[in-house]
Amino acid sequence: MPVGTVDPPRDNLSRLRIQRDVQPVRRSFFGRFLRFVFYLGVLVALTVGAVFWAQKQGMLADTGKLTETLRPRPEVRVAVVSVEKGRSADALVVATGYLESRQQARIGARATGRIQAVNVEEGTVVKANDVLAILEHADLDASLVAVKATAARAKSELVEQDVAIQRAKRDLERSEKAFAAKSSTPADYDKARFDYEAAVARKVSMEAALGLAEARVQEAEQLRENMFVRAPFEGTVISKDAELGESIMPGGMGEASGRGSVVTIADLEHLEVDCDVKEDYISRVTEGQQAEVAVDAVPDKRYKGQVRKIIPMGDRARATVKVRVEILDADKRLFPEMSSTVYFLPSQSADVKEEDKSRVFCPADAVVVTETESFVWILTDKDRTKKTTVTTAESRDGRTEITSGLTGGEKVIVKPAKELRDDVLVRSAQ
């Protein structure tokens, strides 16, 4: 290009260029955080609105009740309202206890061994001396055979010795005659006499040996008899404590030392209630006093009872005295360890008739008496408290008769707390 010439102006559009490698602008962290908070707030608002709507529609449990369910329940002690009929309604004292057999025993073996056979099951009626179980005793059988053979041999030797004594006696008699006729020497006579005396002395020793052999026979027979577990009295098997093949050891306390007993038998014909009577009321109970016994397992019958014994020993911790009441008309529906209630009856003449009217009784310490009303707290099936107004009559022996408000069978709270309220969720003490 010639010097001094000027370049012609270029079009500005030709200078424009598109930059295709430029990165998009990124949002800052603060901006993303604000966006998250916004969406979270929207979600919370929707959740609160849904809960509010659900509460309005009754689709969500009441918040107060939910909190009550999660809160620890107060513990209360309950008792059952009873219905009495006949003479038991006029009982002087009421006590609870458990049925027992007057004669009951856990039967074990008198020797150690392994059970070979068990001849009874639960419920089997046995008589005295019946074989309940047998322990393995093959070795004792062999020993018995051996000592019997020894005794038989000693007996036969004794018979043989009698023959020897007779022969020695004949020889002595001949020697005496010969010596008297001077046809034998004194030495021959002395020999015959000594032989006879020795035979007699040997018989004494053999008799002692026979006695020893017979004693060993008796010992072996007794050892074998110890392998048979027998019933000491007539009764019913109420528990089977060991099985075939288990080891038995007198006084055993478990698997490590062996079983201590095979079965437990009881005389179910003679049952009695072992109950505790409060010291405050023991003066109302006398031996031979009539009583009625209610057994929880047999609600449709009252059994006749009689005080058999008052144990002359008090319980300092419980302030009670133990009393045993025998049941006079026990039947097959009664078993040991059943819970029972004893009603100690007042004396009455033979012409007084029992009333058939039912009467409702409630524990006296379950009734709350105020200036305006008397009421009890009932525990409902849903473990909630319910206040019930009642009308009371006479109170006796820790029981209050209820004339209205209760029908029997309700669970009432005993010694309720003053702060107890209606419709409170509680827990019954075991």
pLDDT in tens, 129-147: 999 999 998 998 899 999 9
pLDDT at 24: 53
pLDDT band at 18, cuts 50/70/90? Answer: low
CA-CA distance, 60 to 73, in Å (whole number)?
A: 22
Taking only Cα atoms into account, the Rg of the chain, rounded to an integer number of angstroms, comes to 49
Q: 87-115, pLDDT tens digit by residue?
A: 667 788 888 999 999 888 888 888 888 99
pLDDT band at 381, cuts 50/70/90? Answer: confident
CA-CA distance, 334 to 230, in Å (whole number)?
A: 25
Burial 2-37 (b: 16+ CB within 10 A, else e): eeeeeeeeeeeeeeeeeeeeeeeeeeeeeeeeeeee
CA-CA distance, 310 to 349, in Å (whole number)?
A: 24
pLDDT at 425: 87
Amino acid at 101: S
Tokens 């020797």 belong to residue: 111
**Range with the lowest mean pLDDT among 67-76, 221-230, 384-393?**
67-76
Coil, helix or strand at residue 419: coil
Burial 221-245 (b: 16+ CB within 10 A, else e): eebbebbbbebeeebbbbebbbeee
Tokens 């966006």 belong to residue: 35
Q: Domain residues of the chain, as ranges?
A: 30-59, 75-81+357-428, 92-102+270-344, 104-133+230-266, 138-225
Burial 333-344 (b: 16+ CB within 10 A, else e): ebebebebbbbb
Closest CA to 271 of 231, 331, 321, 312: 331
CA-CA distance, 110 to 225, in Å (whole number)?
A: 9
Architecture of domain 75-81+357-428: Beta Barrel (2.40)
- Report the DSSP pairing between strands 427-428 and 75-80: parallel
**Mean per-residue pLDDT, 272-286:** 91
Tokens 């005496």 belong to residue: 176
CA-CA distance, 103 to 34, in Å (whole number)?
A: 87
Geometric angle at alpha carbon 319, from 317 and 324, rounded to 5°: 110
Architecture of domain 104-133+230-266: Beta Barrel (2.40)
pTM: 0.56
CATH number of 92-102+270-344: 2.40.30.170
Q: 192-239, pLDDT tens digit by residue?
A: 889 888 988 998 999 999 999 999 999 999 999 999 999 999 999 988
pLDDT at 350: 40
Q: Tell me what percent of the residues of the chain surpass a pLDDT of 90.
A: 26
CA-CA distance, 37 to 307, in Å (whole number)?
A: 83
Contact 175, 184 (CB under 8 A): yes
pLDDT at 307: 95
pLDDT at 224: 92
**Mean per-residue pLDDT, 20-45:** 68
CA-CA distance, 284 to 279, in Å (whole number)?
A: 10
Contact 85, 215 (CB under 8 A): no
pLDDT band at 60, cuts 50/70/90? Answer: very low
Tokens 């019954």 belong to residue: 428
Report the first-to-last Cα separation within the chain, whole angstroms: 119
